[in-house]
């Protein structure tokens, strides 16, 4: 099956720093999604990407759909304490199961005030 490699697994940063995380796959994806999960909650969609090369921002968050369609990255600028959580990438593949999402294992972000 399709697998996503998400890195880094965890990050510990100071408030105000920029953050970058990425996902790679051996398979081509048609859609890349980025989610954030707060403790005790379900994942919440941050950014959706639909086209190779697409660069999309949502406030301090910026994500890009890789040209090869096999990777995506998420940047967070000027981090704040409420950015703490687990960030997941998810990809939607092609073919018969094109409505299913494959998730990365997540990046745990800790922000030190």
Partner 1 sequence: NAGVTQTPKFQVLKTGQSMTLQCAQDMNHNSMYWYRQDPGMGLRLIYYSASEGTTDKGEVPNGYNVSRLNKREFSLRLESAAPSQTSVYFCASSLSGGRNTEAFFGQGTRLTVV
From 105, 79, 104, 66, select the one nearest 20 (Cα to Cα). Answer: 79
User: Is residue 65 close enough to count as binding partner 1 by CB under 8 A?
Assistant: no
Q: Out of 28, 44, 55, 67, name the contact with partner 1 by CB under 8 A.
A: 44
Distance CA 108, CA 106 (A): 6
Q: Which of 43, 66 has the CB closer to partner 1?
A: 43
Task: Give residue 95's Cα distance to chain centre.
Answer: 23
Structure tokens at 80: 């704040």
CB 71 within 8 A of CB 6: no
Please identify, among the stretches 14-22, 55-63, 73-81, 97-105, the one whose residues bind partner 1 according to the rule CB under 8 A. 97-105
Element (H, E) at 4: strand 4-7
Please identify, among the stretches 13-21, 57-65, 72-80, 101-109, the one whose residues bind partner 1 according to the rule CB under 8 A. 101-109
Which residues would be at the binding site for partner 1 (CB under 8 A)? 1, 6, 30-31, 33, 35, 40-45, 48, 50, 88, 90, 92, 98-101, 103-106
């Amino acid at each position: 099956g399709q697998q996503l490699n998400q890195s880094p697994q965890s990050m510990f940063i100071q408030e105000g720093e920029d953050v970058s995380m990425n996902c790679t796959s051996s398979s081509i994806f048609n859609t890349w999604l980025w989610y954030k999960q707060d403790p005790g909650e379900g994942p919440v969609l941050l950014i959706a990407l639909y086209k190779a090369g697409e660069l999309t921002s949502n406030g301090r968050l910026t994500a890009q759909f890789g040209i090869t369609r096999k990777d995506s990255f998420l940047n967070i600028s000027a981090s704040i304490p409420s950015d703490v959580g687990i960030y997941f990438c998810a990809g939607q593949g092609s073919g018969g199961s094109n409505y299913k999402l494959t998730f990365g294992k997540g990046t745990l972000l800790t922000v030190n005030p």
